[in-house]
Amino acid sequence: MGMLSRMGVIVKSKVNRIMDNAEDPRETLEYSYEKQREMLKNVKRGVVEMVTAKRQLEAQASKAQANLAKLDSQARQALGAGREDLARLALERKQTTITELEGLDEQIANMEIEQEKLTHAEQRLQAKVQAFKTQKEVIKAQYSAAQAQVRIGSALSGLSEEMGDITLAVERAETKTETLKAKAGAIDELVATGVLDDPTGGDPLDRELKAISASSTVDDELAALMAELPPGKESLPEGKS
């Protein structure tokens, strides 16, 4: 059995399951129509969730971007103060941030693709539901058992197949979004543990650089005199801020 016939069997078995529930074809029509509307709602919600998830990633990316600039200036500052070790530390973090940023950009791009697919699925379903609604009313109006059964059968199986397909599209997009979000969450954790950034300002690098900054601006003359000593340590009162 080739792949195509295998796919066909899988899809058709789904359709049959829906059809088997039918006693009065007209009930099946109403039932299916309700199902479709429900599904359309789910798809719409899926699109919204996707957009939200993407925005979160974008926020993370811009945070990382801002961090890059900060680390860069910290490195310069440290070097200016003769603290090569701190400058190296800042540059190392900058590299980590660049790597994370690349990862984030890639995820955002992937998410855009998924969002597009989902939006497409939504439009498709919307059109199908509309078409079904029209056909449903026509069939109901002309209902005469045997004939209508056949017509309902073909309309319903076409639509059931479509529903099955769109369900699959939505599920795939959602699974991918979850994976992307989990990855983004891992980056968040790095930020939280201070590997990437320290929003509290309690980071030793920050503290030391502030100390350096303080010592050089507050007391230039003293700094000049202390040029041959490791700078900054003596200005703790300001440095603590």
Partner 1 sequence: MIVRILTEGQFNLPGAHIDELNDIDNKLVDVVAEGDEAGFKNLLAKMMDLVRNNSTEVPVDELVESDLVLPEPDITLSEAAEMFVGEGLVPD
In the complex with partner 1, the residue whose CB is nearer, 104 or 139, is: 139
The smaller minimum CB distance to partner 1, of residues 19 and 226, is found at 19
Which of 134, 140, 174 shows the shortest CA–CA distance to 26?
Answer: 140
* Minimum distance, C-beta of residue 36 to partner 1, in the bound complex (Å): 11
Q: Nearest distance from residue 16's CB to partner 1, in Å?
A: 10
> Would you say 11 or 47 has its CB closer to partner 1?
11
Looking at the Cβ atoms of 10 and 48, the one nearer to partner 1 is: 10
Alpha carbon distances (Å) from 159 to 21, 128, 154, 204: 15, 7, 8, 62
239 with 210: CB under 8 angstroms? yes
Q: Looking at the chain, list the stretches that DSSP marks H as alpha helix, in order from N- to C-terminal side.
A: 3-20, 25-80, 84-141, 145-192, 204-218, 220-225, 236-239
Residues that bind partner 1 (CB under 8 A): 1-4, 6-11, 13, 15, 117, 121, 123-124, 127-128, 130-132, 135, 154-155, 157-159, 161-162, 165, 168-169, 172
CB of 7 to partner 1, least distance (A): 4
What is the closest distance, in whole angstroms, from the C-beta atom of residue 162 to partner 1 in the complex?
7
Q: Which two tokens stand for residue 8?
A: 């066909």
Q: How far is the CB of 109 from partner 1 (least distance, A)?
A: 15
By beta-carbon proximity to partner 1, the closer residue of 12 and 207 is: 12
Nearer to partner 1 (CB atom), residue 103 or residue 158: 158
Phi then psi for 194, rounded to 5 degrees? Answer: 85, 5
> What type of residue sits at position 105?
D
Q: How far is the CB of 48 from partner 1 (least distance, A)?
A: 19
Residue 61 in contact with residue 105, Cβ under 8 Å?
Answer: yes
Report whether 169 contacts 118 (CB < 8 A). yes
Q: What's the rounded Cα separation, in Å, for the pair 24 and 98?
A: 63
